[in-house]
Structures are given as C-alpha cells and as structure tokens.
Amino acid sequence: MRPALKPGDLVLGFRGGAPSVGQLRVFRDPSKSTRWLVKRVGDVYVGTTSTTFEARSDNPRARGAVDSDEFGPISAGGSYRVIWTLRAR
C-alpha cells in the first residue's frame, strides 16, 4: 500500500460501516485466508442483501501486489474500516 502505508506501519480497524470510495479497508486475502490485506476501496456495489466493493492497490505494479482484478469484489461484511494509522520509525 505504498505510498499510503509503509512496512511496519500499524493500522487500527473498526468492523462494519459502509465502505466508501477512497477509504482504506482490511480483510482476509480471498486466496490465502491466513493473510490479511489492506486495500483502498474502488467502486462500491450495494445489493438488496449485501454490499461489496472493489479492493484496489495504491501501487498495482509492485511485486506481489494483488487486488480485485485477481480475486473479484470483497464483501463489506467481512472487512474492517481503517480508522487510525501509526507510522513506523
């Protein structure tokens, strides 16, 4: 998530809340459930029973970067809204 976040930065997330474009969200990697991802919200899709969003990387050309282009939309119900960040020294 460079340049928004650097390795070692801490984030505090709050479960729930509606995703909005540009917001940072934390969620489990759909292809590797033991890993958590921090991504920026792209488009938001509000359905009759659930809300999903596109997860976008700030640096999509970075080695190992993944986002919704690979794994599709993310359920808002299983994600956390980033409400605070602390920069690593």
Instruction: Specify the CATH number for 10-86; select among 1.10.20, 3.40.50, 2.30.30, 3.30.70.
Output: 2.30.30
pTM to 2 decimal places: 0.92
| β pairing state of 80-86 and 24-29 | antiparallel
Q: Which residue has the higher pLDDT, 4 or 35?
A: 35
Interval 24-61: pLDDT, tens: 999 999 999 999 999 999 999 999 999 999 999 999 99
Cβ atoms of residues 39 and 5 within 8 Å: no
Q: Give the burial class of 86: count Cβ atoms within 10 A of its Cβ; 0-12 exposed, 13-18 middle, 19 or more buried.
A: exposed
**Predicted local confidence at residue 64, as pLDDT:** 86
Interval 77-89: pLDDT, tens: 999 999 999 998 7
- Domain range summary for the chain, segments of one domain joined by +: 10-86
**Predicted local confidence at residue 45, as pLDDT:** 98
